[in-house]
């Protein structure tokens, strides 16, 4: 794989939670992370934009050690959306403008465009975020993240607390994003059917380790390890 194709490369990464993590993400991929609670999925995501650092091992982003990046610039480029939306107090417009204003990049005209991406009307710009439903808040959280024009999206259980309609809207939005606006997505999900729908590749984790990884269709159709077989069997009960 050439350097131009490689977006993320984790090499023998260890933390108190994670063990021997080696993983590659290439341009254009959606990589879904599955596994039980406490498997280390969220901990892995946190390393990528330096919400935490590994004890040993190296994480490369576009061929450079992430520790060489300015942290605000790294987090701008690798945007994260969490299960908890963590919107700031104020209006939708306040939230959308926050990140770009840090880099003197905000243009008022972008607000309507950003809401259009997540299928919310322009009238929402002036609404207080506290008046929005959970699904609407999650879509605003996505719009706030893409306001920074990230190259990579890091998503942690982003649809687990929203209704089916919002799940469908968010999934459609993600597929549009990876084809037009971002270079890769890494997505933690508890929903194995969602992993099957969205993932080009899927990584199964247990006890802080990558147990099995591969093309999503193959991994689900032909799991190679007893741990993954057991996990999938009990997901389908």
Token code pair at residue 139:
């879509």
For 19-46, what is the mean pLDDT?
95
Is pLDDT of 6 > 80?
yes
pLDDT the model gives residue 3: 46
Residue 144 belongs to some domain of the structure: no
Supply the DSSP symbol for 222: S
What CATH number does residue 28 fall under? Answer: 3.40.50.300
Q: In angstroms, how far is CA 181 from the centroid of its own chain?
A: 14
- Residue 2 confidence (pLDDT) above 80: no
Task: Quote the percentage of the chain above a pLDDT of 90.
Answer: 68
Separation CA 21–CA 14 (nearest Å): 7
The answer to whether residue 69 is domain-embedded is: yes
Count of other CB atoms within 10 angstroms of residue 4 = 10
Which structural domain range is residue 157 located in?
A: 6-88+150-235
Q: Do 96 and 114 contact (CB within 8 A), yes or no? A: yes
Partners of 201 in the beta sheet? 31, 215
User: Across residues 203-224, what is the average pLDDT?
Assistant: 97
For strand 29-34 and strand 201-206, is the pairing parallel, antiparallel, or unpaired?
parallel
pLDDT in tens, 81-118: 887 767 888 999 999 999 889 888 888 889 999 999 88
- The mean predicted confidence, pLDDT, of the chain is 91
Q: Is residue 38 part of a domain?
A: yes
- 138 within some domain: no
- Kindly report the three-state secondary structure assignment for every residue of 48-109: HCCCCCCCEEEEEECCEEHHHCCHHHHHHHEEEECCCCCCCCCEHHHHHHHHHHHCCCCCCC
Distance of CA 126 to the CA centre of its chain: 27
User: Is residue 112 included in any domain, yes or no?
Assistant: no
Q: Report the distance separating Cα 72 and Cα 77, nearest Å.
A: 9
Q: How many domains does the chain have?
A: 1
Q: Is residue 51 part of a domain?
A: yes
Residue 182 inside a domain? The answer is: yes
Nearest to 169 by CA among 204, 143, 196, 207: 143
Asked if residue 103 is part of any domain, the answer here is no
Q: In this predicted structure, what is the pLDDT of residue 184?
A: 94
């Amino acid at each position: 794989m050439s350097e131009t194709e490689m977006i993320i490369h984790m090499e023998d990464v260890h933390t108190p939670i994670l063990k021997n993590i080696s993983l590659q993400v290439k341009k254009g991929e959606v990589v879904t992370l599955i596994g039980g609670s406490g498997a280390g999925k969220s901990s892995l995501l946190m390393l990528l934009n330096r919400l935490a650092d590994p004890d040993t091992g190296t994480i490369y982003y576009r061929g450079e050690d992430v520790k060489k990046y300015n942290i605000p610039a790294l987090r701008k480029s690798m945007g994260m959306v969490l299960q908890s939306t963590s919107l700031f107090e104020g209006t939708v417009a306040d939230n959308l403008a926050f990140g770009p204003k840090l880099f003197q990049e905000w243009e008022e005209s972008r607000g309507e465009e950003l809401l259009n991406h997540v299928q919310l009307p322009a009238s929402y710009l002036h609404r207080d975020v506290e008046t929005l439903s959970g699904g609407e808040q999650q879509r605003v959280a996505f719009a706030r993240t893409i306001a920074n024009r990230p190259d990579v999206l890091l998503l942690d259980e982003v649809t687990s607390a929203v209704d089916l309609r919002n799940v469908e809207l968010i999934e459609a939005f993600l597929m549009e994003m990876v084809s037009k606006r971002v270079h890769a997505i890494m997505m933690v999900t508890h929903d194995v059917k969602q992993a099957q729908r969205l993932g080009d590749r899927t990584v199964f984790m247990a006890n802080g380790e990558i147990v099995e990884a591969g093309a999503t269709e193959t991994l689900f159709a032909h799991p190679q390890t007893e741990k993954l077989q057991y996990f999938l069997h009990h997901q389908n009960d």
